[in-house]
Structure 1
Amino acid sequence: MGTTQLETAPEPKYWHLKTVLAEALDSEFAVGEILPNERELAARFGVARATLRQALEQLELEGRLQRRRGVGTTVAPPRMGVSVGSAQQGWPGASGDDWEAADSTPAVPPAAVARLLGTEADESVHIVRRSRVTGGQPVAAELLYVPTASVPGLSAVDLPAGPARARAVLRELQSLGLDGEEQAVELGSARADDAKQLDRLPGAPVLVVTTRYFAQGRTAAVAVATYRADTCRLTFGDSGDMEIRHQERRAS
Structure 2
Amino acid sequence: MGTTQLEAPQEPKYWHLKTVLGDALDSEFAVGEVLPNERELAARFGVARATLRQALEQLELEGRLQRRRGVGTTVAPPRIGVSVGPAQGSWPGEGNDAWRAIGCAEAPAPASVARLLGESARDDRPVHTIRRVRMTHAQPVATELLYVPPASVPGLPELLTPVAHAHAVLRELHRLELEGEDRSVELGSARAEDAKQLERLPGAPVLLVTTRYFAAGRVAAAAVATYRADTCRLTFGDTGAMEITHHGADANRERRHAS
TM-score normalised by L of structure 2: 0.79
Q: Provide closer, same or farther for how the CA distance between residues 113 and 11 of structure 1 changes in structure 2, counting only shifts above 3 A.
A: same
| C-alpha contact (below 8 Å) 1:84/1:183 kept by paired residues | no
Among residues 146, 149, 155, which one is paired with 1:147 in the alignment? 149
**CA shift at 1:138, angstroms?**
2.5
Give the TM-score normalised by the residue count of structure 1: 0.81
Higher mean alpha-carbon deviation, 143-152 vs 129-138, is at 129-138
Which residue, out of 129, 132, 151, partners 2:131? 129
Tell me whether 51-60 or 215-224 shows the greater mean CA deviation: 51-60
How far did residue 192 of structure 1 move?
A: 2.5
Q: Give the superposition deviation at 1:95.
A: 2.0
- For residue 215 of structure 1, report the CA deviation from its aligned partner: 1.6
| Count of matched residue pairs | 240
By percentage of residues, which structure has more strand?
2
In the other structure, the counterpart of 2:212 is: 212
**Residues 235 and 81 from structure 1, CA distance in 2 versus in 1: closer, same or farther, beyond 3 angstroms?**
farther
Structure 1, 54-63 or 182-191: larger mean CA deviation: 54-63
Structure 1 contact 80–232 (Cα < 8 Å) conserved? no
Alignment-mate amino acid for residue 114 of structure 1: A
Gaps of 5+ in 2: 1-8, 252-259
- The CA deviation at 1:109 is 0.8
Contact residue 108 and residue 122 of structure 1 kept, 8 A? yes
**Secondary structure, counterpart of 1:195 in structure 2:** helix
Give the match for residue 6 of structure 1: none
Q: Render the CA deviation track for 1:12-42: whole Å, top value 9, x for unaligned.
A: 2221110122234345544212334556544
Give the alignment's Cα RMSD to 1 decimal. Answer: 2.9
1:90-105 equivalences under 5 Å are 90-105=90-105
* Contact 1:85 1:241 survives alignment (8 Å): no
In structure 1, the gaps of 5 or more residues are: 1-8
Q: 1:205 to 1:85 in 2, by over 3 A?
A: same
- Larger mean CA deviation between 123-132 and 46-55 belongs to 46-55
Looking at structure 2, the residues matched to 123 and 228 of structure 1 have their Cα atoms a distance apart, in angstroms, of 31
Q: 1:80 to 1:225 in 2, by over 3 A?
A: farther
CA distance in structure 2 between the partners assigned to 1:47 and 1:111 by the alignment = 46
CA shift at 1:56, angstroms? Answer: 1.9
**Structure 1, 60-69 or 12-21: larger mean CA deviation:** 60-69
Amino acid at match of 1:197: Q
**C-alpha distance in 1 between matches for 2:72 and 2:226:** 27
Conservation of the 8 A alpha-carbon contact between 1:26 and 1:249: no
Q: Indicate the residue corresponding to 1:5 in structure 2.
A: none
3-state SS, counterpart of residue 54 of structure 1: helix
Q: Does 2:170 align with 1:170?
A: yes
Q: Which residue of 2 aligns with 1:180?
A: 180
- Which residue number in structure 1 is paired with residue 140 of structure 2? 138
Alpha-carbon distance change, 245 to 196 in structure 1, aligned in 2, over 3 angstroms: closer
